[in-house]
Amino acid sequence: MKTNTETQIIATFAASDLCKGIPESSLKEMSLLATPLHLDAGEILIEEGTQTDQFYIVSEGSIEVQFSVPGEESFQEACRLHQGAIIGEMAMIEDDVHSARIVATSSARFLRLDTTQFMGFLDVHPDIGFRVMKNLAEILSKRLRYTNHSVRHLLAQ
């Protein structure tokens, strides 16, 4: 029998673009890798320039992606993300620092996933691994397209 927490974790995975097309039985297995996390509005989830081996999926609430601008003390908003969004996804791909600050704009819940454990799961389940990596490529492509559009808009001013 599923617990309420397990049901919520599976629902978060199912709502995420990262897990699009993955059967519920696999989402149930993946749920064992996730740790629920809560932040209040204004709390920082990820600080720009830090390095972690974790990534997150927004369960509820919204977050703001912010970046620093050379010569300015304040951060600028890049975008807002909501339920189902993956955060810190580059930690799954490369061993580098976070490129942005992530701040909860409302009370927000997340799933925290350890990259090493998650990648180990994908190694054991290559069919799921393929689906996750394909979905991740689509997410990153959409984000790059959005960035390209933003740069074009800035250059046109």
- Predicted pLDDT of residue 1: 53
For the chain, the 3-state helix, strand and coil shares in percent, each to the nearest 5, are 45, 25, 30
Q: Are strands 54-60 and 108-114 parallel, antiparallel or unpaired?
A: antiparallel
Q: Identify the residue whose tokens are 């799961």.
A: 121
Q: Which pTM value belongs to this model? A: 0.89
- Predicted pLDDT of residue 124: 97
- Predicted pLDDT of residue 152: 86
Q: Mind listing the domains of the chain with CATH numbers?
A: 4-156 (2.60.120.10)
Structural contact between residues 68 and 125, judged by C-beta atoms closer than 8 angstroms: no
- Predicted pLDDT of residue 46: 93
Task: Give the residues of the chain that fall short of pLDDT 70.
Answer: 1-2, 91
- Predicted pLDDT of residue 2: 61
